[in-house]
């Protein structure tokens, strides 16, 4: 597709050693059967459809531990993937301050300092006291000064303070909007944007139900002249029809997560949808990004891409061996600066709306 190297998140991630050790200590202080039971119940609640007005997914110490054991590692992987893909588009940008809205136990804080060690001031907003308590415990075990000194604030997003105060280089809304009632999401996005001095990252699970939430938030931010950093190659409304855009990040599962899930597999591909929107434009444009895993058969290979012109599926016939093998090996989520050249040809196209 291009001689330029693709910009990709890490091939696979693990939890930082100090975070994994801190979670293990917290779990060791509670009966294993108790947090395993809560983890399984939490998993069922996460998989159930949500209208946005249900009770919180997790409350209390036991449920917070179940979340840390089961959900936190996968969420960390998703955040690392989205942050890395964003950072690859703006390599010179180095944030110093961060606000994590709806922080839970602080998952995004850990992912962000791994991506940007320049972060020196972290603020976490969370409604549930059990998550704040656990988040403080976990960050106390960190080797990063900013994590140790995180400012935790108990804030309900429905009663958030005025946005006329401090602005932050990096603001994260991670797994927040999908848990809100639809009529509240726009206000939360607008408030988060007012607090953003640099980059606002919105991330949700990579499902057909959660993607429209991300899409609507991006559309809203475009009306405020936000610039798309990732994953899209343009600043126009999304042209996808009856489809959704999501990406994988491979996680090497910690032992406690395998216990919580009751699964022996050493890894999982944690999928996410995201929009990284900034008050500044990226230094260079990309031509497009692969938004589906490349497929192949005995006759051809195909790659679905989101480009500046729209959604295009490219095909390389197997008889064109070099092009076929090249297309087959392209990574899901890879970003490229130039379109493909023949014999790789477009077979389907959906234009970006005017």
- Which phi and psi angles does 351 have, rounded to 5°? -75, 150
Within-domain flag for 25 = yes
Q: How wide is the angle at C-alpha 351 spanned by C-alphas 223 and 232, nearest 5°?
A: 55
Claim to verify: residue 305 and residue 193 sit in the same structural domain: no
The total number of structural domains that make up the chain: 2
147 and 204 both lie in a single domain? yes
DSSP assignment, residue 300?
E
**192 and 293 assigned to the same domain:** no
| Same domain flag for 248 and 303 | no
Same domain flag for 213 and 246: yes
Looking up tokens 């959604």 gives 311
Same domain assignment for residues 175 and 307: no
224 φψ region: left (φ > 0), alpha (ψ -120 to 50), beta (else):
alpha
Q: What is the pLDDT of residue 46?
A: 67
Residue for token pair 């294993």: 32
Task: Give the list of residues 6+ apart from residue 132 with CB closer than 8 angstroms, or none.
Answer: 124, 126, 152, 154
> Do 219 and 309 have their domain in common?
no
Q: Which two tokens stand for residue 326?
A: 């090249």
Quick one: pLDDT at residue 245? 93
Closest CA to 116 of 74, 73, 86: 86
Domain boundary among 278, 313, 334: 278
The reply to whether 23 falls in a domain is yes
Are 33 and 65 members of one domain?
Answer: yes
> How many angstroms separate the Cα of 106 from the Cα of each of 16, 115, 175, 215?
13, 15, 12, 24
Q: What's the pLDDT at 129?
A: 95
Q: Look at residue 229 in the predicted model and tell me its pLDDT.
A: 97
Establish if 5 belongs to a structural domain: no
pLDDT reported for residue 2? 47
- State the pLDDT at residue 161: 67
Q: CATH number, domain at 54? A: 3.40.50.150
- pLDDT tens-place values along the chain, 354 residues long: 443 334 456 789 999 999 999 999 999 998 888 888 888 887 776 666 665 555 667 778 888 999 999 999 999 999 999 999 999 999 999 999 999 999 999 999 999 999 999 999 999 999 999 999 999 999 998 999 999 999 999 998 877 666 667 899 999 999 999 989 898 999 999 999 999 999 999 999 999 999 999 999 999 999 999 999 999 999 999 988 889 999 999 999 999 899 888 878 899 999 999 999 999 999 999 999 999 999 999 999 999 999 988 899 999 999 999 999 999 998 999 998 888 889 989 887 766 665
> End of a domain among 254, 278, 302?
278
Domain end point (choices 240, 260, 278): 278
Domain that holds residue 157: 12-278
User: What is the pLDDT at residue 259?
Assistant: 87
Q: Provide the pLDDT for residue 59.
A: 74
* Residue 6 lies inside a defined structural domain of this protein: no
Q: Has residue 68 been placed in a domain?
A: yes
ω into 231 cis (within 30 of 0): yes
pTM here?
Answer: 0.92
């Amino acid at each position: 597709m291009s001689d330029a190297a693709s910009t990709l998140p890490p091939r696979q991630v693990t939890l930082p050693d100090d975070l994994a050790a801190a979670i293990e200590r917290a779990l060791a202080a509670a009966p294993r059967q108790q947090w395993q039971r809560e983890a399984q119940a939490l998993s069922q609640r996460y998989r159930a459809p949500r209208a946005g007005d249900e009770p919180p997914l997790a409350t209390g110490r036991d449920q917070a531990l179940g979340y840390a054991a089961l959900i936190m590692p996968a969420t960390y992987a998703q955040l690392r993937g989205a942050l890395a893909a964003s950072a690859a588009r703006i390599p010179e940008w180095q944030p110093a301050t961060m606000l994590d809205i709806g922080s839970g136990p602080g998952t995004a804080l850990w992912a962000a300092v791994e991506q940007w060690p320049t972060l020196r001031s972290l603020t976490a907003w969370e409604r549930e006291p059990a998550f704040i308590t656990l988040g403080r415990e976990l960050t106390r075990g960190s080797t990063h000064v900013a994590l140790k000194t995180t400012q935790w604030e108990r804030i309900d997003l429905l009663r958030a303070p005025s946005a006329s105060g401090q602005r932050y280089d990096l603001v994260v809304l991670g797994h927040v909007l999908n848990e809100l009632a639809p009529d509240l999401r726009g206000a939360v996005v607008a408030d988060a944007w007012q607090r953003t001095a640099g980059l606002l990252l919105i991330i949700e699970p990579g499902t057909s139900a959660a993607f429209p939430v991300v899409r609507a938030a991006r559309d809203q931010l475009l009306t405020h002249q936000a610039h798309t950093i990732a994953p899209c190659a343009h600043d126009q409304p999304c042209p996808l029809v009856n489809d959704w855009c999501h990406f994988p990040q491979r996680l090497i599962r910690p032992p406690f997560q395998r216990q919580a899930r009751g699964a022996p597999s050493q890894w999982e591909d944690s999928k996410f949808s995201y929009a990284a929107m900034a008050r500044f434009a990226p230094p260079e444009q990309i031509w497009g990004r692969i938004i589906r895993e490349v497929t192949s058969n005995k006759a051809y290979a195909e790659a679905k891409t989101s480009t500046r012109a729209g959604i295009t599926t490219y095909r390389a016939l197997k008889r064109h061996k070099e092009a076929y093998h090249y297309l087959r090996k392209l990574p899901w989520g890879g970003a490229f600066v130039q379109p493909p050249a023949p014999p790789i040809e477009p077979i389907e196209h959906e234009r970006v709306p005017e």
